[in-house]
Structure 1
Amino acid sequence: MTDTGSLLAKVVGPEHMLMEDRVPEEYGHDESLAVAARRPRYVVRPAATAEVSEILAVAAMRRVPVTARGSGTGLCGACVPGADGIVVSFERMNHVVEIDADNHVAVVQPGVTLAELDDHAAEFGLCYPVRPGEPSASVGGTIATNAGGMHAVRHGVTRHHVLGVEAVLASGAIVRSGGKYVKTSTGYDLTQLLVGSEGTLALVTEAVLRLKPRAGHGATVLAPFATAEEIARAVPRLLARGLDPLALEYVDMLTMAAMTAQQDLGLGIPQQVRDTALAYLVVVLEERSADRLEADVESLGGQLLELGAADVYLLPAAAARQLIEARERAFWASKAAGADEIVVPRASLPRLLAAA
């Protein structure tokens, strides 16, 4: 009987089937520090959906566990494989099949990175708004984990932008769900069932994604507060008044100090304010019109002062970019230190912070 490795090599070609000692260490882990790495027995790198179908048929026949892998940037150990299993790496399935500017959708393979998709969409004045903090993350990985990020406050998480998928079931059967339309009310929503399923139901081999018009103007506002509880109370009140920010981020005093020191980042905050501020609120606004953005910034500043901010600072573009990048890295550093994510309703934040 032909062994499993030979069957897999026949599907993808010997150069794209790695086995045992030939498997590089990187295929055994993602960026999680809490899940131990495990080297799989096989790594296969398919180039087409038909090959993924054949791989899963072989795995089903031989009863070998399968783990899908994108860029390996996740923090939860989702792509750590079984020691005797197969890793299906989508690094070769990395093509933007289509940018449909009329329907505001992109059709992409799972190995396309968020940065690559954004570059293609930008040529048409569009963007894919999901920003989990790592532009090298693959589209397939973000679909598998239903990734969110800073922009979720305005644009939601990944599932809000996946209109359709092509996927391969464990048997090797190929299925399609959804498409280039935003309204469907017939039958089960297989697309949304697969988003966030981490490869346990099927492997996504193509996705139809909703794109948004690209905003041409942006501003970042920083507001220091005397306490974290004041920020927690301010956020739902800001949103209730019609504020539609791209991002709303809380930064505590110690994290802000570490971020600014590490980046040598000057934000123009006087020392007397820094001495009394225990927390900061970062608000990112985006608009297609410069006049509308200016009006929004002015309105936001007044509301923040009314809600208890010590002052309001409109950051220069370079400083704003550095601050957001530092904030994203601070999240990764916190995870590395063992911090857990907690999800609560906005109105419960004051009580949560008071108990912390």
Structure 2
Amino acid sequence: MTSTTAASSGKRERTVTAPNGTETGPQLYVRAEVRARKGKQPAWLLAAVVVLAIACGASLAVGARAIPLETVWDALAHFDPADGNHAVVHARIPRTVLGLLAGGALGLAGAAMQGVARNPLADPGIMGVNAGAALAVVGGIYLFGITGLTGYIWFAFLGAAVAATVVYLLASTGRDGATPVKLALAGAALNAGLYSLMNVVLVSSQDTLDRFRFWQVGSVAGRDWSVILPGLPFLAAGALLVLCSGRVLNTLALGDDLARGLGQRVGLSRGIVALGVVLLCGSATALAGPIAFLGLVIPHAVRFFTGPDYRWILPFSLALAPALLLGADVVGRVALPPGEVPAGIMTAIIGAPVFVWLVRRGKGASL
């Protein structure tokens, strides 16, 4: 239940009261905020899906050979192998599908990590998960001669899981346990250490560097169905775990003590969500390389429409993160003709100023 108290400035602010009657303070405003926005989220989510559909259409139509939208639709509905335009559209389908999968996975993972860590800067890149996956892939190339993207996925899973575990164990040491600040510090420290180790391997092996550098920048180009299909079960399992954790993340946002008071098994809940994050990050990183900023920027941006309710933040992130990735990929195709700028570079170019703007607005950083 909620109550209203008078603030010192003369304004009235909402507070949330726990079931045992204990008032938890104005920082726990989830229910009041949700009521204020109730009825608007479905319409905004529909708009997000429309934006995603437009991004998919642009991904199929725009490139070195521009295809009219009516031709794109005709190629999808009535494919003619003898038509060159139809063949180009179908050649771009795996690239578009990979953008959808990788973008959705990284958006969901970023939102879930911010909820689990209760830290607005939590992100697969900042928290060391992407670095762990990248180092494991480098190790697979250097030690075992792995050359195909289908082989990267297993090493990426292993590296992501180990990195996430190490970050949590490091942050759990001490009296207060895994606080948001300790998680961020442990993640940043591990991220720097893992990338240093990776660079040591790369500078000592030119062959490993040659194989790795095209994957390292992050891209959805040059992948086909033989690369995408093996990752689908892991992406689906991770997405299911994370999408079903909206209520759990809302409870964790109240703090560990109150979450336990409400009957939440905090350690088990964090472990389940973390498993989903590892599956999503490992799969997306293996398939598309380490792509930055999606998991950081999108969850902050969608809070303008959803408030702090993770039951809405997660589906919004699932829709808008791939839209941003596909949009960045489209811009990269036409930015420097006749070549292309990889999507991982374009998301950093686009995402960095957007994140700065969100922080300066002062609204996107609150959980």
Query: Structures share a fold, TM > 0.5?
Result: no
Q: TM-score, structure 2 length as denominator? A: 0.23
Larger radius of gyration: 1
Q: TM-score, structure 1 length as denominator? A: 0.23
Question: Relative to total residues, which structure has the larger strand share, 1 or 2?
Answer: 1
